[in-house]
Structure 1
Amino acid sequence: MSLRDKLLAALADLPGTRTFHIHVLTSAARKHGGLFPYAHPRPRTYLQEVLILLSEQASPDAPRVLVTAIEASVYNIPSTSSGIVYVSKVDSSGHASAPSPTATLVRAFLAYYADPVTRPISVQHLWIQLFARAQNQYLFPNSSEYEGKRPLSDVKLCAWWKKVYSEVAGTVNTGLKGVGKVKLYYILPGYSELDAAHSLARGATATSSSVQWAYGHPYSQTDIPLPCPKSTDPNAPHNLGHFIPWFDDDPKSRFIDEIAYIKATEGGIRSPKRKRAPSSTGGDKRPPRRDEADDKDKEKEKEKDGRPQGELGEVTADEFWERMSFRQECVAGAVTGFFTMCVTTPPPVHHDKTSQPSPLAPQPGQVSPKMVRRIVSSLMNHHEFSTRERAVRATETLEGVIKGLCDDAPAIPSSAPPSTAAAAAAAPCTSSSPNTERPRTPEPGCAATLEVPRTPPPPKRSHLHAGPGGKAGGLPEISPNPFPDPVPSPETYKEHIYGRIDVRNAPLPPRGGASGPEGASQGAAAPAPVTVLAVRKKRKPAPP
């Protein structure tokens, strides 16, 4: 079963009468060297981006409107037969009818990867991780201004995610029938186990699950192998970089960057050196100090020996999470949470790694990573959902763009010869010149591919990008993908990307509350019957 069909099947049981339209974009796998940037050696990793857009149509004559979006990253580490699903963003626009489909969609998405029967990557151990932080909007710009959207508070959001994880873990554990393990971990930085349990108990309804939660991080347990392989050298020093994965826009990633680039000395941690103002005689031309030269020599020696950078060899996993409670993202006055689900199964009988297809081989229904990034960038930068009319217009534009990228080829004049047309479709925008054989400089006004805005990497932390000399963080640049990017087609759109389902179920009785992390209200709460008691007045006796 494909991911699209799994999600549609889950939406079919929602109460009410409406039609759902879904677009599922899954990119082809590509080589990725930034998941464990401080591990030596870096494990071979493959990355896929997933974007899910769900729109709702209240009646056949009503327009479509986007109601839920999910953005996630799927990592495959063949050396340990492990996979990581990182849910980066989940958002609802507030324009959905009650009940909101966000919770149902998220549960089906997580169960699709957690269940080994439907899991699209061939791994034995799967980790589902996320960082819960309450905000008014994530993927739908200006949706917080819409009066129908009622985002959950910080405590209720963490309680909502814990409930969703519990339901998915219980379903997967039942399907395993004792063959395999499912474990759940959560931690609220700055809260003890008792305080965290009391806080989330106030923000969630009671739910039963066959899997018990463990408060803390999952990097000290030994039942499920960690995604990053251990060093082949038994005498290699401990490295925190083997435990903490690096995700975009994640506080763990920013913290491990700082730990990796701390300058440690015999007397303790050295403060950053002061900057000298250039002198009036042409700048500061004094030679570098002796201690600065020693630091450079020590860093070069560490790179040669493969020793951990900074304090990565000194900070343990327990100390890392203890320090996380003092980070700005976790002490800003709002409750935040880290949630992890671990699912492990034994290897199948007659399992042979050599007979497995290459993880880079494109699968049916996949699109290029550039297409996924282009749709995400368009959603977050060129549309808004502050009103119903604007949300309808944005939905029509985005869905039209996805269908157009699959249906239409680049516009080429019909009078051009076939060879010229093919060359024009593949060539970049160049200046017009009669000499077609001479290479031409691109015009400055060429339309560039839309990219998701990202914070540039800090100095000396470009472990995700190639540096001078073809180096990326001191390592050779990743070799090119031997497979070309998949080209979407009308068949891909109809069979794998787009789907719809008509829901015709009994309506849900009105009740209060929200069913999504930033979801719309589920309707006004039904007023409880009030019995008015009349006061019986004592009659005065009649006058004689």
Structure 2
Amino acid sequence: MATRAPPAGHASLAEILAEALPKDASFTFYHVSTPPTKCAAIFSPPPGARPERTYCESHHLNVSVQAQDNGHPGEVLVFAIEILIYTTSHLTTLFVSKADSTGYLSLLNLPRAVDSPIRTISTNFIRWLVRNRQRPGKRLVVSLFARAQDQYLFPGSVDNPTKHVADDTALVKWWCKVLDPVLREYEHEPGQSSEATPTGTTAQGYLIIPGLERIETQRFFPATVKSDPADQKRWTHGHPLLQITRHPNAPPRCLIPHFPDDPKSRYMDELDDELPDGGSQSILSPRGNGQWKSVRSLDQFWDMMSFRQECSSGRLVGFIWINLTPPDLEETVDDEEPIGSQMSSISEVLAPTKDVEKHKSDSSQKKKKKKLTGPIISRTPRIKQTDSKPQSSVKDEITKYYIWPTSSRGQLVLDEKAYKRGTELLQRQNFSNYEAASSSTSLWINEAKLLGGVPSWGIKVVGTKSRPNVDCAVNGSGINVLNTSIVRKKRKADEEAPQPEKNCNEAQTLSTTLIRRKPKENDTPASGETSSAVNVLGSNLVRKKPKA
């Protein structure tokens, strides 16, 4: 099947972020990426099969702000996120590798009513990559693990008192909220009782927290799941590993992806020591049936993960997936042969027969070395021709294994070595205080500029999303409705009567004569008198309680 290009007309990252960020808030984005590069397969192959050809594309987005007061004139980084895109001939995986903040976002003095810009940026960056990396007929999976840690990308930032470090429970909930808008951009998967066939791409969210049961896990889902129909919940306890694999009957080690710096990957490496060959990837490796001795199923694997040091001792680690299924999914038929027969059939193909060996020996005997005669003529040395084009233009945009649209690349496209150098440079800086963070920001921006060979870089984005009016809102009929978030507090006895407040859109207000207030002690009318608005009994009509 020919690979088609993604739909045209996708908005740029800057346009998407400008619409989502608070009005008049200014940010500068530094986006670095690499071309798709051949890498080790993230899924172990079944016994007797070759590893899938896999490509990896790295994206690193840094965000900086400029302080609004004169006391902090320098630019400082406030947030960074790294996403690795793994692609094969049948699957695209977006793995959120790292994300971290410095705490200096407080320099913008944004009101508390504004949504977190960091969560907004994370959601829209992932959403933008998902839109641009979807391939017709291929699944796309967003995968990440949420593990609380003081700092990931910005050394010393934990010493900044304005940095908020979320605990493990809050972090898992936060990432589910980040991915929920991405999920709800697509149709829901058909429920068991639903007969409707989806017309577009469907999406389903999954969450596993080792050590927690299904009911306990549900409290980490976003609040939006409460409004979902009972048979169409957009979030569920579990994983999509059996759906995304090409070999659902293979051993568990072939179904679980292997990502860098991933808790489950480290556990898989230890389990591979139980194999006869220590988990070698060679096609001729005598690994038996590829089955671990101590873990025999996926359910048992997740149960054992709860006893790992990273998932125990009162700490929670959440594994989250968003599984996107296109309407024209290419069905992959799995080979139903037993694993042993697969190995034997591969060995039969690779092992030369006796006839082939005899033919090779006969042909080798017939060949004779040709005796060289005549004068020796020296060859003119040739200079190796190198392609002067940048690496970004050497790669194909559309192949069987990936798509690489020009519109969704980083502002700087670096090769793998330069990209690694830039990320390592960032992780050697100091963000413990503003002066050090500002200096580190300037150093990293300039060094990345030299790596990319550009005179300047960075995209400035000013938010355009209007802030909601918390005083009053006007519905479509033109009637003013009081915001339910406004709470009227009880006035103290010595407070003066409230003055009429200005309303929105020239709404009518009550007259002060119609406002009942608690009378003061010195406001009590004389005997036999009444106020102009309220009838009061005279003192001679009040029955007093006799003294004892």
TM-score range, shorter chain: 0.5 to 0.7
Q: Deviations 1:443-490 (Å, cap 9, x if unpaired)?
A: xxxxxxxxxxxxxxxxxxxxxxxxxxxxxxxxxxxxxxxxxxxxxx56
Question: What is the aligned partner in structure 2 of residue 103 from structure 1?
Answer: 119
Shift of 1:153: 1.8
Corresponding position: 1:392 with 2:373: no
Shift of 1:378: 0.6
Corresponding position: 1:401 with 2:466: no
Paired residue secondary structure (1:260): helix
Q: Deviations 1:294-350 (Å, cap 9, x if unpaired)?
A: x7899999954553446179611111111111111111212221100100113499x
CA 1:298–1:369: 2 relative to 1, 3 Å: closer
Q: Deviations 1:328-374 (Å, cap 9, x if unpaired)?
A: 1111212221100100113499xxxx995365897645321112211
CA 1:119–1:38: 2 relative to 1, 3 Å: closer
Structure 2: gaps of 5 or more residues: 1-7, 190-196, 331-395, 471-484, 495-517, 522-544
Match of 1:213 among 226, 230, 235: 235
CA 1:144–1:204: 2 relative to 1, 3 Å: farther
Paired residue secondary structure (1:370): helix
When structure 1 is superposed on structure 2, of 38-47 and 333-342 the one drifting more is: 38-47
Matches within 5 A, 1:97-136: 97=108, 98=110, 99=114, 100-115=116-131, 118-119=132-133, 124-136=138-150
Match of 1:147 among 158, 161, 178: 161
Provide the C-alpha distance between the structure 1 equivalents of 2:182 and 2:402, rounded to a whole number of angstroms: 29
Question: What is the aligned partner in structure 2 of residue 22 from structure 1?
Answer: 29
CA 1:377–1:53: 2 relative to 1, 3 Å: same
Corresponding position: 1:262 with 2:277: no
Question: What is the aligned partner in structure 2 of residue 471 from structure 1?
Answer: none
Instruction: Output the amino acid matched with 2:433.
Output: T
Instruction: Output the amino acid matched with 1:137.
Output: Q
Shift of 1:249: 0.9
Identity value in percent? 25
Work out whether residues 183 and 213 of structure 1, in 8 Å CA contact, stay in contact via their aligned partners in 2. yes
Q: Deviations 1:256-308 (Å, cap 9, x if unpaired)?
A: 11222126xxxxxxxxxxxxxxxxxxxxxxxxxxxxxxx78999999545534
Matches within 5 A, 1:54-65: 54-59=63-68, 62-65=73-76
Question: What is the aligned partner in structure 2 of residue 486 from structure 1?
Answer: none
Matches within 5 A, 1:463-482: none
Q: Provide the aligned length of Structure 1 versus Structure 2.
A: 389
Shift of 1:171: 1.6
Provide the C-alpha distance between the structure 2 equivalents of 1:369 and 1:129, rounded to a whole number of angstroms: 22
Work out whether residues 135 and 403 of structure 2, in 8 Å CA contact, stay in contact via their aligned partners in 1. no
Corresponding position: 1:187 with 2:208: yes
Provide the C-alpha distance between the structure 2 equivalents of 1:68 and 1:301, rounded to a whole number of angstroms: 41
Instruction: Output the amino acid matched with 2:13.
Output: K
Shift of 1:219: 2.5
Question: What is the aligned partner in structure 2 of residue 46 from structure 1?
Answer: 55
CA 1:53–1:312: 2 relative to 1, 3 Å: farther
Question: What is the aligned partner in structure 2 of residue 171 from structure 1?
Answer: 185
Work out whether residues 136 and 328 of structure 2, in 8 Å CA contact, stay in contact via their aligned partners in 1. no
Provide the C-alpha distance between the structure 1 equivalents of 2:101 and 2:281, rounded to a whole number of angstroms: 49
Paired residue secondary structure (2:154): coil
Provide the C-alpha distance between the structure 2 equivalents of 1:308 and 1:509, rounded to a whole number of angstroms: 64
Instruction: Output the amino acid matched with 1:67.
Output: V
Question: What is the aligned partner in structure 1 of residue 426 from structure 2?
Answer: 379
What TM-score, normalized to structure 2?
Answer: 0.61
Question: What is the aligned partner in structure 1 of residue 13 from structure 2?
Answer: 6
Provide the C-alpha distance between the structure 2 equivalents of 1:219 and 1:300, rounded to a whole number of angstroms: 21
CA 1:211–1:107: 2 relative to 1, 3 Å: farther
Corresponding position: 1:244 with 2:256: yes
Corresponding position: 1:357 with 2:399: yes
What TM-score, normalized to structure 1?
Answer: 0.62
Paired residue secondary structure (2:133): coil
Work out whether residues 62 and 77 of structure 2, in 8 Å CA contact, stay in contact via their aligned partners in 1. yes
Match of 2:96 among 55, 72, 87: 87
Provide the C-alpha distance between the structure 2 equivalents of 1:528 and 1:335, rounded to a whole number of angstroms: 40
Paired residue secondary structure (2:104): coil
Work out whether residues 18 and 465 of structure 2, in 8 Å CA contact, stay in contact via their aligned partners in 1. no
Name which one, 1 or 2, has greater alpha-carbon Rg. Answer: 2
Paired residue secondary structure (2:302): helix
Provide the C-alpha distance between the structure 1 equivalents of 2:104 and 2:432, rounded to a whole number of angstroms: 10
- With a CA cutoff of 8 Å and minimum separation of 6, indicate the structure with the bigger relative contact order: 1
Instruction: Output the amino acid matched with 2:59.
Output: V
Work out whether residues 45 and 75 of structure 1, in 8 Å CA contact, stay in contact via their aligned partners in 2. yes
Shift of 1:103: 0.8
CA 1:110–1:504: 2 relative to 1, 3 Å: closer
Paired residue secondary structure (1:171): coil
Work out whether residues 77 and 438 of structure 2, in 8 Å CA contact, stay in contact via their aligned partners in 1. yes
Q: What is the CA RMSD across the aligned residues, in angstroms?
A: 4.2
When structure 1 is superposed on structure 2, of 13-22 and 104-113 the one drifting more is: 13-22
Q: Deviations 1:393-451 (Å, cap 9, x if unpaired)?
A: 111111111222223xxxxxxxxxxxxxxxxxxxxxxxxxxxxxxxxxxxxxxxxxxxx
Shift of 1:527: 11
